[in-house]
Amino acid sequence: MSRPLSPTKKVISLKQAAKLARHYQQAGKVVGCVSGSFDLMTAMHFKSLEERSKKCDVYFILLNSDSSIRSYKGMAKPILHESERSYVLGQSPFVDHIVIFPELTPVALLEKLRPDIYFNVDGWGAECVEKAVVEKYGGKVMLFDFPEPEKWSKTTTELLARIASSEAIKVGKAIFLDRDGVINENKQGYLYRYEDITFMPHLLPTLKAFMKAEYKLIIVTNQSGIARGYYTEKQMHRLHGKMRAYFKEHQVAIDDIYFCPHGPAEACACRKPGIGMLLAAAREHNLNLSKSWLIGDSHTDIEAGRQANVNTVYIGNAATYPAQAVKPKHFVTNLKEAQKRILT
């Protein structure tokens, strides 16, 4: 199998192009040609090149130079320099030769190149300025429509609009907090009563600092005590309701709480080290996980974070951290330290 020609080799001068065109035509080949700016090419452009190439044996592209585009589209265009545009355009195996031209229209070039077929987009007018010159030497203008836009993506203008609206969507970041051992002390047994809860030292100032730094606060907690029958989901919600009320009293807003009610035997996707809760939060809160952090006191928290591309902080004793487990980004011994690691 032979390798395709490098795109840079496809760019030739008008003089070379005209010479080649005569050569092809004398050999009985049909020379096709199209002109355009081919800025930010989409699948639709490539598909269109493929379709047009079926009507001819050799396909020449007349590419507007940067100055030529600026003269009729204004200073904001093109987005890509002509060397970039010709390089991308040349990647299409259906493009044989490229001529970059500085004129406003390709009329003067067509008189020299004299392609058998000059393709033009229907709607830009059958009576285009090129028509007279092409028909004068005996060539023909062939009109075409772009392929179905829903199937072959968009024009460059539509692509730019899509980029602008995507930029306008505010993607957030979060601090994912394990509950037992991070929010409240990890006592013996399964906690479900607010009266039994002791909040961790420095909890409120740390959460406030995260809020100030524009992180969402999201608790992600395994609650297999539900599956084990130690308490009900309702009892857990009652506890969480009281926790939220306490935080609210202190001007801390928890954005969401995700919990897994399943036991280890159920093999669900949400129980950490599974990443189901993190992915659900990313989707529902529109988060960039790679800019988010997870604070946990178990290696399974850290594993979940790492699997979901979330930065991780382990609260606990680094010396007793399981040797085989994936390591957190930072080992800390308390929340204040975690805050310092994340916010600096």
Place of tokens 């890509």: 80
DSSP state of 49: H
Q: Which of 39, 82, 130, 297 binds Mg ion (CB under 5 A)?
A: 297
Q: Which of 66, 82, 178, 303 binds Mg ion (CB under 5 A)?
A: 178
Distance from the first to the final alpha carbon of the chain: 55
Smallest gap from Cβ 261 to Zn ion, in A, equals 6
Q: Is 27 in a helix, a strand, or coil? A: coil
Looking at the Cβ atoms of 240 and 271, the one nearer to Zn ion is 271
| String marking each residue 230-269 x if it binds Zn ion according to CB under 5 A | ------------------------------x-x-----x-
What contacts 310, CB < 8 A, 6 or more positions away? 176, 278, 289, 290, 292, 293, 294, 304
Smallest gap from Cβ 220 to Mg ion, in A, equals 10
Q: Which does 18 bind (CB under 5 to 8 A by kind): Mg ion, Zn ion, none?
A: none
Which residue's Cβ lies closest to Mg ion?
181
Q: Using an 8 Å Cβ cutoff, are 43 and 15 in contact?
A: no
**Marked catalytic residue, from 116, 178, 297, 301:** 178
Smallest gap from Cβ 271 to Mg ion, in A, equals 12
Place of tokens 């600096």: 344
Looking at the Cβ atoms of 101 and 258, the one nearer to Zn ion is 258
Q: Using an 8 Å Cβ cutoff, are 314 and 302 in contact?
A: yes
- Which of 95, 114, 142 is CA-nearest to residue 23? 114
Smallest gap from Cβ 307 to Mg ion, in A, equals 17
Helix, strand, coil tally for the chain in percent (to 5): 40, 20, 40
- Which of 333, 315, 306, 340 is CA-nearest to residue 180? 315
Q: Which of 7, 181, 205, 276 binds Mg ion (CB under 5 A)?
A: 181
Only one of the segments 12-20, 21-29, 53-61, 172-180 lies at the binding site for Mg ion (rule: CB under 5 A); that segment is 172-180
Q: Which does 48 bind (CB under 5 to 8 A by kind): Mg ion, Zn ion, none?
A: none
Q: What is the identity of the amino acid at 59?
A: Y
As given in the structure block, the two tokens for residue 325 are 């487990």
**Residue 56 and residue 34: Cα distance in Å, rounded?**
11
Looking at the Cβ atoms of 222 and 312, the one nearer to Zn ion is 222
Place of tokens 């080949």: 29
**Marked catalytic residue, from 180, 196, 297, 301:** 180
Quick check: 180 binds Mg ion (CB under 5 A)?
Answer: yes
Smallest gap from Cβ 271 to Zn ion, in A, equals 4
Active site residue 180: yes
Q: Which of 41, 49, 239, 270 binds Zn ion (CB under 5 A)?
A: 270
**Residue 271 and residue 45: Cα distance in Å, rounded?**
46
- The footprint of Mg ion on residues 208-237 (CB under 5 A) is none
**Residue 219 and residue 179: Cα distance in Å, rounded?**
6
**Residue 193 and residue 139: Cα distance in Å, rounded?**
86
Provide the 10 A C-beta neighbour count for residue 281: 25
Looking at the Cβ atoms of 197 and 270, the one nearer to Zn ion is 270
Q: Which does 217 bind (CB under 5 to 8 A by kind): Zn ion, Mg ion, none?
A: none
Smallest gap from Cβ 268 to Zn ion, in A, equals 3
Looking at the Cβ atoms of 80 and 200, the one nearer to Mg ion is 200
Burial 332-341 (b: 16+ CB within 10 A, else e): beebbbbbeb
Active site residue 301: no
Where do contacts with Zn ion occur on this chain (CB under 5 A)? 260, 262, 268, 270-271
Q: Which positions are annotated as active-site residues? A: 178, 180
Where do contacts with Mg ion occur on this chain (CB under 5 A)? 178, 180-181, 297-298
